[in-house]
């Protein structure tokens, strides 16, 4: 990658995430007027707002970086030729969003073959803007972030699970975490909970099956805040769901063992 590519994309991603967040917030404040579709489950929803916000983001990216590929939750893949791909979740935490809860965000990452180059997460209701670029550090509203210094029990642990994963296995994972003394919480937006790992608010975050748009921006933040992440497939693999695990360095290995994602292809 040529020098300065990340800096351009970071500045653009911040500006675009703020505009996308403002539109999402406007729709959130009038959410009773939104047309909502249930995809598979009461936690798997999509609204006009998700589609409209992703369209705003994609048009802005196409205008600024027409050579870059894009992959978004609602509008899929569009090819590029720069080796960089924008990975977009217009609203992560659609279920909290549509139920009037504050825990949702816009998540935008730019990735290359090695993983995330840039990550931006904007939570409009909380007025929190998380930003990171490879080698450039992670920040919350401009203040530097560090992951927790401690083990799994040094703070709360974020967890997530959706209706596509085996409920009995989720039960076993939660039981094993409790037996290990972990105090788990679920907030409904995987991206935002990954940002909270970077911010030292959570010791880690584990979810058996997530998509790239749910986790790549959060991963950029955790890596830059000194934490560890389970690598997500790149290239074609970016389009398939995979287990997600991000944690402070002192909790990571224990979480890998307890969650056992590596040997569980049937999650």
Residue 73 or 151: the one with the smaller Cβ distance to ligand 2AM is 73
For residue 214, state whether it binds ligand 2AM (rule: CB under 6 A): yes
Angle between helices 5-28 and 48-64 (to 10 degrees): 150
Out of ligand 2AM, Ca ion, none, what residue 214 binds, judged by CB under 5 to 8 A for its kind, is: ligand 2AM
Rounded to whole angstroms, the Cα distance separating 1 from 135 reads: 13
Stretch that binds ligand 2AM, among 14-22, 61-69, 123-131, 202-210 (CB under 6 A): 202-210
Q: In what order do the strands lie in the sheet with 242-247?
A: 183-185, 156-159, 202-210, 242-247, 228-229
Q: Is 135 left (phi over 0), alpha (psi -120 to 50) or beta?
A: left
Stretch that binds Ca ion, among 65-73, 120-128, 130-138, 201-209 (CB under 5 A): 65-73
What part of residues 27-56 is at the interface with ligand 2AM (CB under 6 A)?
43-44
Rounded to whole angstroms, the Cα distance separating 119 from 255 reads: 23
For residue 139, what are the β-bridge partners? Answer: 131, 144
For residue 93, state whether it binds ligand 2AM (rule: CB under 6 A): yes
Residue 201 CB, shortest distance to Ca ion, in Å, is 21
Question: How far is residue 144 CA from its own chain's centroid?
Answer: 19
What part of residues 226-265 is at the interface with ligand 2AM (CB under 6 A)?
241
Question: Judged by CB under 5 A, which of 68, 73, 151, 254 binds Ca ion?
Answer: 73
Q: Which residues bind ligand 2AM (CB under 6 A)?
A: 43-44, 73, 89, 92-95, 160, 162, 164, 188-191, 207, 209-211, 214, 241
């Amino acid at each position: 990658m040529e020098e300065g590519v990340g800096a351009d994309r970071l500045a653009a991603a911040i500006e675009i995430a703020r505009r996308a967040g403002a539109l999402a917030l406007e729709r959130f404040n009038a959410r009773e007027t939104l047309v909502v579709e249930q995809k598979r489950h009461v936690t798997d929803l999509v609204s006009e707002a998700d589609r409209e916000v992703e369209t705003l983001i994609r048009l802005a990216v196409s205008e600024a970086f027409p050579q870059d590929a894009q992959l978004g939750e609602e509008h899929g893949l569009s090819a590029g030729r720069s080796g960089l791909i924008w990975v977009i979740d217009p609203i992560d935490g659609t279920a909290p969003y549509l139920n009037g809860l504050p825990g949702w965000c816009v998540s935008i990452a730019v990735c290359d073959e090695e993983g995330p180059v840039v990550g931006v997460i904007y939570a409009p209701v909380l007025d929190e803007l998380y930003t990171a670029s490879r080698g450039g550090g992670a920040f919350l509203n401009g203040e530097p972030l560090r992951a927790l210094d401690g083990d799994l029990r040094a703070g709360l642990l974020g967890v997530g699970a959706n209706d596509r994963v085996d409920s009995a296995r989720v039960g076993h994972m939660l039981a094993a975490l409790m037996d290990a003394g972990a105090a788990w919480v679920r907030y409904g937006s995987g991206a935002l909970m990954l940002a909270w790992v970077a911010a030292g608010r959570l010791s880690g975050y584990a979810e058996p099956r997530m998509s790239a748009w749910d986790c790549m921006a959060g991963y950029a933040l955790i890596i830059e805040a000194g934490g560890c992440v389970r690598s997500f497939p790149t290239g074609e693999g970016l389009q398939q769901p995979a287990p997600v695990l991000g944690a402070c360095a002192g909790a990571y290995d224990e979480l890998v063992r307890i969650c056992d994602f590596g040997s569980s292809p049937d999650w």
